[in-house]
Structure 1
Amino acid sequence: MGSGFQSSSRANNVSKRSSISSKSTLSSGSSKSVSNSDSPYAGYHYLRLAHSLHMSGKKNDVKAMDYALKAVDFFEKRSNAKAMPELVMGLHLLAAAKCRLGHYEEVIQILKKSLAMYTPEMGSEHTFGAFAGHMQLGDTYSMLGQYEDALQSYHAGLKIQKQFLGDMDCRVAHSCLYIAESHLQAMQFKEAEELCEQALKIHIEQCGIDSEEVISDRKLMVLALTGKGNHEKALENLFLARETLLVNRKDVEVANVDASIGDTYLALGLYDEAGAAYQKALPFFEWVHGKDSIIVAALSLSLAEVCLKKGTIRESKSYCENALRIYARVKVGQFPDEIASGLTEVAGLFESMGEYEHSLRLFQQALEILEKIPGQQSEVAAIEAQIGVLFHVIGKYEEAYMALKSAVCKFRCGIHRKTWFLGMLLNLMGLACLGLDALWDATEIFEEAKSILDEVCGPHHADSLAISSNLAGAYDALGRTDDAISLLEQILDVNEGRLGTLHPDVEGDRQRLKELLNESGRSRTKKTNSLRDLLLSSRAQSSRFQFKGIA
C-alpha cells in the first residue's frame, strides 16, 4: 500500500504493493549523511538507506534488510512516543525486504509486532502505520494462500482508514476495490459485490457518473456479479460502462468491454451474441497488441469455447491451435501467469472434446510454470485436481491418487479447508484408492468426504448422497454389511422423497439394499464384482467434477 492510505493495483506483485512511503518521518532529523551509530540522527539515516535500497530493486534486498534492522535496533533502544512512528516504519521496511526474500513467516511476526504498538488514541502518523501494516500483513497472508487471515487483516486496515478519512474518501474507495479483488480470489462474491458498491457510491459522488473510476468500479462489479450467477445485472453494468467509453471515444477500452460482454452472453447460453461480441473486439486487439499477443490468444480461446458450445468442433480446435501457437512464441518468463492460465483453458477445452491425453500434457505444462511462481498455491492445487480427475478418467489410478493427494493437502492449508471442492476431491481420491485395491484407505477417505459434504451441503444433498453410496459400497467390500445396509436405507429414504419411487436411481438403490438384506454369507467373488461395478460407475461420476477456476 502506498502513502496517504492509497491502495495500489493488484496487478502488481505483492512486494510492489507493499512499498513504503518516504514522506513525513524520513524527512525528519539532520539532512547530512550520518553513519555514526551514536548520532541521534543515525536511525533516520538507516531508514533513508533502507528505503532507497528497497525501492532500487530486488538486487539490493539483503542490504535493505540490514539497514532496516539497524534502524529498528536504533529506535527500539531509544523508543519514546516521538520515535514510535520511525520504529514502525523500520519494521515495515524490514518486513518488505524479507518478503521479497521469501521469509514470509518472519514477515508475519514483524508486522504483528508493529501492529501491537498501535492504539486508536494515537495521532495520524500512527494511524497510517497501522493501516499500512494491516494491508502489508494481508498481502503476506495472501501470498501464502491463507486468504481468510488475509481478508481479516485487510478489513481491519479498512476500518482504521474509514475512522481516519471518513466513509466517502476516494482513498477508501480504492481500498474497497483492493479488498474486493481478494474476496474474488477467495470466491466470496457477495462480499466482493458489497465492497464494489461502496466504491461505486464514493466515486459517483466524488468523481462523477461518467468518470474513469466509475467505469473501473463497474468492471470489477461485473466479476462479482458473474461469480454470483447474476449475469443479467452484470450485463447491465457492462453496457453502462460501454456507453460511457463510447462518449469519451476510448475505442480500445470499448473492445475490452465487448470481450466481457461476450463472456456474459456465453454464461447466459447466448452463443451467437457472445461470438458477435468477441468478433467486435478481435480486430481492435490485433491492431493494438499485435496478432501474436497474449490478449489475442485469450480472445481466441473465448471464440473456441463459443464454437465448442455450438458444436463446431473443427473451428473450436482451430482457435485453440492458434492460441497455442501464440503461447509457443512468447517467452514464459515475460507472462508466466497469463501463459499458465491460457494453457489451463486450452486443456479444459480439449478435455471437453474428449482428448484427454492432449489435455493432460497441457495441464502439466501449466503446472510446471505455476510451480515456479510464488503465491500460486491455490492455482497449483486446482490444476493438480484437474490432472487427478483426468488420470482417473483414463484409468491411471496411482497417478490420479498422487495428484489428488497433493491438491487435497494444499486445499486443506488454504481457503478450501471445509468446502464442496475438498469433499469432491476426497471422493475422487477414494475412488482412486478403490482402483488400487486399497479398501481401508478408500473407506477412511470416503468417511472424511461424507463428513465435509454433510456439513457444507447437508446430508440430503445429491452430492452428499453420492458419496454416501460410495461409502456403502466400500463398507460392503470390507464385509461391514450392517454399516452398508444402514447407509443404503438412509439413501433410499431420502431419494424416494427427492426423486420419486419409480426413478431409476431409486430402483438401483432399492435393488442393492435388497441384495444385502437377502445375503447373509456372500462370497468374496461377488463382493469383488460389486466393487468393480462401483469403480466402473465412478468414471461417469468423475466426468461431472470440473475444478477449473478454483482459487
Structure 2
Amino acid sequence: MKRLSVRLISSSKPTISSTSISGIFTQQFTTCSSSSSISESLIQNLKPCSNSNGLFSKPYKTHQFHKTPSHNYSTHVKITPYNHSEQSEIEKKRALIQEAVKAAKAAKSPEEMLEAFEKDMEDKFDKDELGAACLNIGLNLEKEGEDPQKILSFAHKSLAILDNAVKKCSFSIAMTLQILGFIYCKLRKFNDALGFLNRANKILVKLENDGNYEYGVKSVKDVLLAVQLDLVDVHIGMRSMEALDYLRKSVETKGFLKGKDSKEFGDANWEFAGACVGSQKFKDGLPYCLKALEIHLRLLGENSVEVAHDRQLLGAIYAGLEEYEKALEENWLAQKVFRICGCTEDVIDAAIDAANMLITCGRYEAAVKMLKEHEKGVEENSENPLFLMTMAKALVYQKNFADAKGCLENACRVLDKKEKSKPLEVADAYIKIADLYEKIDEVEASIFLLLRTLALLEKLPEKGHLERGALSRMGSLLLMTDKATQAMAIPYLERAVETVKESYGSKHFGVGYMYNDLGKAYLVLKRPESAAEIFVVAKDILDSSLGPHHKESINTCQNLSNAYAAMKSYPLAIEFQQKAVDAWEGHGHSAEDKLREARRLLEQLKVSARGASSKDCPEKALPLPHSSDASGGLQAPQPSSPKKSV
C-alpha cells in the first residue's frame, strides 16, 4: 500500500497527473466560433483524445495511499448539422485533421511538420477554424506521446491565430496558454511556463470577476484548476513559496467543482495541510487538516485508512504547535486504525513519528520502549534505516552511546546499498546520521559522512535544501576542530547561505537559519562585530517569516545577546537576553529548561554589567535589528569556494 510519511512532506511536492479536458475545448470553440454551423459542427466532432492523459486538467494525487480517479470532462454541447451537405463537409475536414496528425508524427522536425500543415490545410480552413484545428492536432500528438516540441509548435501557432481572431481576454486563449504552460513546465523551462500560466490565470480570474460564463461556469473552473496546479508545479520548480498560495486557491476551486462535502475536497484539504507542515506553517495547515478529517470521517468512517492518515498529519501539526499531548493522542489513534487495516508499514511510520515527539518532550525511555515494540515488524518488512536512526537518537539522549553507534552503523550499511537508486533520500539520511555522530563526539565520522553526502549531491539537479544542510553541518563541525581548520568553516557556511537564497529568495526562513549558523561561526572565531551584523540579519528574517516567538527566532535573539556581551556592550546584551527570557516564558512547560538557562544568563550579564567600566563600552555604532527590510541592508562576506578536504 502506498503511503506518505509525515516526515517526508517537506521534501515532497504534489504529484500531478494530467487528464484531458478536450470536452471543454470542444464546447468553447463551438460557442465562440463566428463562422457558419459547418464550422461549429466541425469543431464539435474534432474530439481527438477523450480518454487521453492529456494536457489540460491536472488533479494532483493527494493521499498516496489511494488513487485519485481521472476527470474525463465532457461539457460540450452537441450541434446537429443543418443538412447532409454540411455533414459531408464536416467529415472531410475531420479527415484532414487526422491526416495532419499522421503527417506531424512522421515529420522529422517541427519546421517540416508546420510546412506540411500550411501546405495541406491553411487554404481549406477559415481563420476561426484554423486555431481550433491546430490545438486539436496538438492534443492528438500529446495523446500519442509525441515530441513536446511538436506539440508546442501547434500550440504556438494556435495562440498566434487566436490572438488575432478573438478578444484578448478570451476563454479559448486561456486554454491555449495553459497547454503552453504545462508543456514548458514538463520541459523544466519554468520561466517560460510562468509567463503563459500567469496570463491564463489573469484571463480566467477576469472572466470570473466579470461573471462571464459564456462557456459554462464549470468549464471556466475546470481550466482554472488546471492552471492553478500548473502554477504550483512551476513555483515548486522555481523554489518559490508562491506554490503554497496557488495550492490554497486550488483547494477552493476543487470544492466548487466537486462539492464541499466530497471526498476529493477532503483530499485537497489534506494535501494543502501537508504542504503547510513542510513549510512550517502549522497554524495555517491546522484548519485544512481538521476539514479533511471531518469529511473523511463522515464519508469513509472512523476505521478508514484515509482517516488514519489525517490523524497522523494532525499529530504532526500539533507537534509543530508544541501541543504534544494532542499530537500523541492523534498519532495513537492513527496507529490503532493502521493495525485494524493491516497496514504494518504505516504503523511503523506512525510509531517513528510518535517516538520523535516523545524525544522532543524528553521522554526518552518511552520512545525507546515504543520503538522496541515494533522491532519485529521492521525485521519482517526489511531493514528500515529511518527506524534505526530514530532508535539511535533516543539512545543518544539516554547517553547509551555504544548501542546508538551500533544503530547508526547498521543504518549506514543499509543506506550504502541504496545510494544509486535513491540518492536524494540517502543524502538526507546521511546528514541526519552525521548530526547524531556529532552528538556522541564522533566528529571524524560525521565529517566523513558529510563529505560523502556532498559528493553524492554534486551531480543531482534537485539538491537544494540537502546541499544547504550538508554545507551548514560541515561548517559547524569544522568549528569543533583545531584552530588550524576552524577558519575553513566560513566558506562552507557562506555557500550554504547563498544556496538557500538562490532557491528560496533572501527573506525565506531557511536563509535566517543559515545566517544564524554563520554568525555563531564568527563568534567561535572571536569576531563578535561580524557575528552581531550577521545575527541582526538573521533575526529580522526569522521574526518576519516565523514570528518573534518561534524557537529559532528566540535562539537568534540569544545569539545576538552573546555577540553584544563579547563586545562588552552589556546594555544591548541585557536587552536582547531579556527578550529571549520573555519569549521562552510563553512556551510553557516544554521550554522550562531553556527558560531557566535564559534567566541564569540574564543574571550573569547584569553582574558583568555592574562590574564593567565605562571604557569597556565600544564607541562605534552597533548593528541593531529592524523590521523594515528583512535583509537588513547587511550582507555576509562574499562566499568563496569551500576546500574539498579537511
TM-score for both structures, normalised by structure 2: 0.66
- State the shift of 1:130 in Å: 1.0
Q: Does 1:511 align with 2:599?
A: no
Per-residue CA deviation, residues 12-43 of structure 1 (Å, 9 max, x unaligned), is 97695263535524675436415245343522
Q: Does 1:351 align with 2:438?
A: yes
Q: Distance in 2 between matches of 1:67 and 1:452?
A: 46
- State the shift of 1:176 in Å: 1.2
Q: Distance in 2 between matches of 1:146 and 1:521?
A: 41
Q: Does 1:328 align with 2:416?
A: yes
Per-residue CA deviation, residues 177-196 of structure 1 (Å, 9 max, x unaligned), is 22122211211112222211
Partner residue of 2:4? Answer: none
Mind listing any 5+ residue stretches in structure 2 that lack a counterpart?
1-7, 27-43, 47-93, 101-116, 583-594, 620-646
Q: Distance in 2 between matches of 1:364 and 1:473?
A: 33
Q: Does the residue aligned with 1:138 lie in a helix, a strand or coil? A: helix
Alpha carbons of structure 1 residues 428 and 215: separation in structure 2 relative to 1, 3 Å: closer
Residue 332 of structure 2 aligns to which amino acid in structure 1?
A: F
Q: Distance in 1 between matches of 2:558 and 2:350?
A: 42
Q: Does the residue aligned with 1:229 lie in a helix, a strand or coil? A: coil
Partner residue of 1:117? Answer: 203
Q: Distance in 1 between matches of 2:579 and 2:351?
A: 46
Partner residue of 1:341? Answer: 428
Residue 93 of structure 1 aligns to which amino acid in structure 2?
A: I
Q: Please tell me the root mean square deviation across aligned C-alpha atoms, in Å.
A: 3.9
Per-residue CA deviation, residues 362-414 of structure 1 (Å, 9 max, x unaligned), is 22333444454445533432332222222223254443222222222344456
Residue 158 of structure 1 aligns to which amino acid in structure 2?
A: V
Q: Does the residue aligned with 2:488 lie in a helix, a strand or coil? A: helix
Partner residue of 1:402? Answer: 491
Per-residue CA deviation, residues 58-88 of structure 1 (Å, 9 max, x unaligned), is xx4444444443443344444469x955543
Per-residue CA deviation, residues 191-247 of structure 1 (Å, 9 max, x unaligned), is 222211111111112222222221221222222222222222222222222333333
Partner residue of 1:24? Answer: 23
| Matched-pair contact (CA < 8 Å) for 2:577–2:602 | no
Q: Which shows bigger deviation, 462-471 or 315-324?
A: 462-471
Partner residue of 2:231? Answer: 137
Aligned pair partner of 1:313 in 386, 394, 401:
401
Partner residue of 1:106? Answer: 192
Question: What is the number of equivalent residue pairs in this alignment?
Answer: 494
Mind listing any 5+ residue stretches in structure 1 that lack a counterpart?
1-8, 477-483, 523-551
Write the mapping of 1:203-218 to structure 2, written as runs, cut at 5 A. 203-218=296-311
| Matched-pair contact (CA < 8 Å) for 2:134–2:154 | no
Aligned pair partner of 1:390 in 477, 500, 505:
477
**Which of these two proteins has the greater Rg computed from alpha carbons?**
2
Q: Does the residue aligned with 1:393 lie in a helix, a strand or coil? A: coil
Residue 281 of structure 2 aligns to which amino acid in structure 1?
A: Q
Residue 139 of structure 1 aligns to which amino acid in structure 2?
A: D
Partner residue of 2:260? Answer: 167
Q: Does the residue aligned with 2:479 lie in a helix, a strand or coil? A: helix
- State the shift of 1:96 in Å: 2.6
Per-residue CA deviation, residues 410-445 of structure 1 (Å, 9 max, x unaligned), is 444566855776456435424544677878755643
The percent identity for this pair of structures is 19
Partner residue of 2:518? Answer: 429
Q: Distance in 1 between matches of 2:272 and 2:265?
A: 11
Partner residue of 2:572? Answer: 487
Q: Distance in 1 between matches of 2:542 and 2:177?
A: 43
- State the shift of 1:511 in Å: 3.3
Q: Does the residue aligned with 1:117 lie in a helix, a strand or coil? A: helix
Partner residue of 1:304? Answer: 392
- State the shift of 1:111 in Å: 0.8
Q: Distance in 2 between matches of 1:521 and 1:87?
A: 65
Q: Distance in 2 between matches of 1:238 and 1:337?
A: 27
Residue 380 of structure 1 aligns to which amino acid in structure 2?
A: E
| Matched-pair contact (CA < 8 Å) for 2:539–2:556 | no
Q: Does the residue aligned with 2:444 lie in a helix, a strand or coil? A: helix
Aligned pair partner of 1:51 in 135, 142, 150:
142
- State the shift of 1:521 in Å: 11
Residue 202 of structure 2 aligns to which amino acid in structure 1?
A: A
Q: Distance in 1 between matches of 2:254 and 2:561?
A: 48
Q: Distance in 1 between matches of 2:15 and 2:402?
A: 44
Q: Distance in 1 between matches of 2:604 and 2:351?
A: 49
Q: Distance in 1 between matches of 2:520 and 2:309?
A: 45
Q: Distance in 2 between matches of 1:492 and 1:266?
A: 27
Q: Does 1:448 align with 2:537?
A: yes
Per-residue CA deviation, residues 445-500 of structure 1 (Å, 9 max, x unaligned), is 34434655777538x967425414414645x7xxxxxxx46635756888999989
